Amino acid sequence: MSSSQKESVGITVKKADDFSEWYTQVVIKAGLADYAPVKGFIVLRPYGYAIWESIRDLLDKRFKETGHQNGFLPVLIPESLLAKEADHFAGFTPEVFWVTKTGNNEIGEKLALRPTSETLAYSIFAKWITSYRDLPLKINFWNTALRAEIKATKPFVRTSEFLWQEGHTVHATEEEAEKEVMAILDIYREVIEDFIAVPAIRGFKSDKEKFVGAKYTTTLEGMMADGKALQMGTSHHLAQNFSRPFEIKFLGKDTKEHFAWQTSWGVSWRLIGALIMVHGDDKGLILPPRIAPVQVVIVPIHKDKDAEAVKAHAHELASELRRAGVRVHVDDRDEYTSGWKFNEWELKGVPLRVNIGARDIEKGQVEFVRRDSREKKQAPRAALVQEANSLLESIQYDLYSRAKQMLDSFISRPATYGEFKGVIEGRGGFASAGWCGSPECETRIKEETGADIRVIPFDHQQGGQDRNNNGNDSDSSNKCIYCGQPAKKVAMFGRAY
């Protein structure tokens, strides 16, 4: 293959020079997804789906361990049902796909392709719940949602149909519901930070940015390498705002009738978009080992006379690694050179590569190559499993550490509104600043800078906290960054996907 052909197969732009084009090339050329015939939709290829399965399985295990069960909901929702919670649905109206015909026949009532399932699920929950004995009800749905994307589309981040999970729970008391909100947020944090290796700031959404119909929304907000924020997952306390219109009520132990308390929560395949944007480099994807479908790829390097022996040895190594629980693949294709294979697996982001040739076999050694740092290391054949596991853990740790350093570098604490605008319009990132709590100031900032409140952190060490909860030591956080009035909260502002 010529050098020009090889160049066209690999990533042809640098991440720092054209982030958007770089991202698109990684998605397409690493074999994660492709564009569908309808604008705004993508086709998830097997490698991309395998990454989603890794994330899904981690979450599914934790949901089941905490008493949640999986269910299934249909995709069509009658318009009359949506009208029961008009304020909630109004937030989705511009994005809704409508079904108005079956074949050539007009249908009597328009049907929405679900943008989210609250109205549909809760009309059913009202039939299932009659007594305190029916509670708590904790159901999760692995499905898709459809929202006509009106902004610029981006695979995994903004598409008109996306894979996600949406959980819906019903409780007898508000205290139980609030505990559920935080328990789910903690599950999300564990998977996002400990497995996907992307640090996230936990906190509340402002009333303007919260889920429509919720009493409050908690969120995990990440920072991408181009200085834009990405909402990674949300968990909502719905209070009784849906149980009342949908009449989800139960007979309590006190023999009185009560309206239930509810939560909903979800993450989507945008987590794949996050790991691409945070970890990827000019060579392509870099996958954290704990969620990589293939953790180790073994490439036999041989001349014709050694081919069978080297391949056989490579498969022996793979069998040993598999027995130790390592996800491994042997690339023994003859139609590609070793160099071609190296480039392909680097593009696909496999965390660790093992090179094995006749000379390595003679010396009783294997050669490891890290995807993140591209460092090479020789190790005794007998130490194969131990060394592989050690390197995989090191890669996982280092990816998170680098991502955390990047996040920290993107947090600024401007003292004036002029500095605030300089941050947002310059390198970007999070601007941590005092906020008076006024929606008017929040709206004006958005109109003037394109930045909104991404998160009001639980932890002031991450950039802010409720002013009623021990305050903040920074003088600039004592006043609203926009109007100068006393600040009630310290919020993280930023532009976002």
Q: What is the pLDDT of residues 135-191, one digit of tens each?
A: 999 999 999 999 998 677 899 999 999 999 999 999 999 999 999 999 999 999 999
55: in domain: yes
Clarify whether residues 37 and 142 are in a common domain.
Answer: yes
Least confident of 72-76, 302-306, 312-316, 338-342: 302-306
CB 205 within 8 A of CB 453: yes
Q: What is the pLDDT of residue 84?
A: 81
Clarify whether residues 318 and 273 are in a common domain.
Answer: no
Q: Residue type at 327?
A: R
Model pLDDT for residues 83-94, shown as the tens digit of each residue: 887 776 676 778
288: in domain: no
Q: How many CA atoms lie within 13 A of 215 on its CB side?
A: 14
Strands 411-412 vs 137-146: parallel, antiparallel or unpaired: unpaired
Clarify whether residues 473 and 370 are in a common domain.
Answer: no
116: in domain: no
Q: Which domain holds residue 50?
A: 3-71+123-279
Model pLDDT for residues 329-377, shown as the tens digit of each residue: 999 999 999 999 999 999 999 999 999 999 999 999 999 999 999 999 9
- When pLDDT is averaged across residues 36-65 and rounded to a whole number, the result is 97
Clarify whether residues 482 and 429 are in a common domain.
Answer: yes
Q: What is the pLDDT of residue 476?
A: 67
Clarify whether residues 197 and 303 are in a common domain.
Answer: no
What whole-number distance in Å separates Cα of residue 144 and Cα of residue 162? 5
Residue 42 exposed, middle or buried by CB count within 10 Å (0-12, 13-18, 19+)? buried
87: in domain: no
301: in domain: yes
Does residue 411 carry a pLDDT above 80? Answer: yes
62: in domain: yes
What whole-number distance in Å separates Cα of residue 428 and Cα of residue 405? 15
Clarify whether residues 149 and 185 are in a common domain.
Answer: yes
Average pLDDT taken over every residue of the chain? 93
Model pLDDT for residues 225-271, shown as the tens digit of each residue: 999 999 999 999 999 999 999 999 999 999 999 999 999 999 999 99
Here the CATH number for the domain that contains residue 267 is: 3.30.930.10
Residue 256 exposed, middle or buried by CB count within 10 Å (0-12, 13-18, 19+)? exposed
Counted domains in the chain: 3
Q: What is the pLDDT of residue 93?
A: 77
Clarify whether residues 341 and 271 are in a common domain.
Answer: no
Clarify whether residues 184 and 224 are in a common domain.
Answer: yes
214: in domain: yes
- Give the global pTM: 0.93
Q: What is the pLDDT of residue 330?
A: 98
Residue 196 exposed, middle or buried by CB count within 10 Å (0-12, 13-18, 19+)? buried
Least confident of 4-8, 88-92, 102-106, 204-208: 4-8
What whole-number distance in Å separates Cα of residue 422 and Cα of residue 416? 10
Clarify whether residues 368 and 430 are in a common domain.
Answer: no
The fraction of the chain above a pLDDT of 70, given in percent, is: 94
Does residue 460 carry a pLDDT above 70? Answer: no
Clarify whether residues 22 and 138 are in a common domain.
Answer: yes
Q: What is the pLDDT of residue 233?
A: 98
Chain mean position to CA 475: 34
Clarify whether residues 267 and 303 are in a common domain.
Answer: no
Does residue 468 carry a pLDDT above 50? Answer: no
285: in domain: no
Least confident of 56-65, 369-378, 473-482: 473-482
Q: What is the pLDDT of residue 469?
A: 37
- When pLDDT is averaged across residues 123-138 and rounded to a whole number, the result is 98
Model pLDDT for residues 428-453, shown as the tens digit of each residue: 999 999 999 999 999 999 999 999 99
Clarify whether residues 271 and 311 are in a common domain.
Answer: no
Kindly tell me the sign of the dihedral angle through the C-alpha atoms of 371, 377, 381, 387: negative
Q: What is the pLDDT of residue 112?
A: 94
Contacts of 63 (CB under 8 A, 6+ apart): 70, 140, 165, 167, 187
